[in-house]
Chain A
Amino acid sequence: MADISFLILVFFLMVSTMDKEEGLSRRLPPLPSEDQKVEDQKVNRRNIIQVKINSNDRLYAGSEMMDVSQLKDKIKEFLTNPYDDPNLPEKEMREIAGLGQYPVSKGVISLQNDRGTSYSKYIEVQNELVKAINELRDQFAMQQYGKKFIKLDETKQEIVRKAIPQSISEAEPKDVKKK
């Protein structure tokens, strides 16, 4: 009996994979339809931050070159705009069910990469962007409910998600020139 079970056990050990499905979730933008006008997509300049990675894995955010470690704070400043700087994104009062009026930032992060960018760098930058947004959500959740975002229930999470949207747009592929 034990022998047979051992055999089956070994079989399962061989054929199985233990790796968990983990990763960064994203939604791709739908392809623009033919008749859609380009003007519709024009966003106010102050509402957009361009994060570019060139083929040498150099990172540019806004117009300045920076290290990945600085990106998170830059993004957080961009999305919160604490001093209502006219160069940073405007906020729009939006009615959120269950919360009331809340100034939601209209900022959009536009991520561009070159064909030569390495995937690990790209993920590293994506990760920093998500981290910035997660930290803002945590902060907001702490203020409103005194709990971290993950520990809130589904409806409250939805409210937080509406208040601080994850607005990362992966731009149309475009070659980022070496600067």
Chain B
Amino acid sequence: MARFIKNDKKETPAISTASLPDIVFMMLMFFMVSVSMRSTDRMVQVRVPQATEVAKLERKELCSYIYIGTPTPTYQAQYGTESRIQLNDSFRSTDEIRDFIAAERDNLSEVDRPFMTVSIKADQDTRMGIITDVKQQLRRCSALKIMYGARKAGKAK
């Protein structure tokens, strides 16, 4: 009847970690492929408004970004809480958009220039005044393809 005697010393063996590197590598590869680098530090708080009819941007590399919103708390002491425009890494005025667009356009190859898109990422509480100014500036330097950043809302609104 030795079969029925319980062997109390038997424990579950430790889980083998031999495959752990493989799994980690796989995740690493996934992240490397799927992410885009955070190229600039956000200096303004932006919560883009919701919309249902959003379209995806086809070619990300042809896109320049204009961020509009209130400065983040670290910058509020210096710049106040009024909505500001951020281009690249600094706060700028509307007049400087022209230089920014010209610089961005120079970075693109000749063939891609007509397809340049300017993505306006503005906070949902921003007033339209500043956005209208930006739009007028964009028209002035004929960067006419724009995109209003928005996040997709659920179908049931």
Contact = CB atoms under 8 A, between A and B. Distances in A.
Contact of A16 (B38, B57, B127, B132): B38
Interface string A1-37: 1100110110011011110111111111111000000
Interface string B131-157: 110011011101011111111100000
Contact of A24 (B20, B24, B55, B132): B55
Contacts of A1: 21
A28 B149 CA distance: 15
Interface in B30-69: 31-32, 34-38, 48-57, 60, 63
A81 B117 CA distance: 34
Contacts of A17: 35-38
A51 B56 CA distance: 26
A12 B122 contact: no
A24 B51 contact: yes
B72 interface: no
B63 A120 contact: no
Given A24-B54, A118-B124, A122-B128, A173 B136 contact: yes
Contact of A31 (B37, B139, B148, B151): B139
Given A17-B35, A130-B53, A116 B127 contact: yes
A124 interface: yes
Nearest to A170: B135
Nearest to B125: A118
Given A5-B24, A118-B126, A122-B128, A30 B147 contact: no
A34 B47 CA distance: 38
Nearest to B39: A17
Interface centre among A21, A22, A124, A127 (most CB of B within 10 A): A21
A1 B19 CA distance: 11
A30 B21 contact: no
A111 B97 CA distance: 24
Interface string B112-126: 000001010011111
Interface of B: 17, 20-21, 24-25, 27-28, 31-32, 34-38, 48-57, 60, 63, 117, 119, 122-129, 131-132, 135-136, 138-140, 142, 144-152
Given A1-B21, A170-B135, 8 more contacts: A5-B28, A12-B28, A15-B35, A18-B35, A22-B57, A28-B139, A119-B128, A123-B124
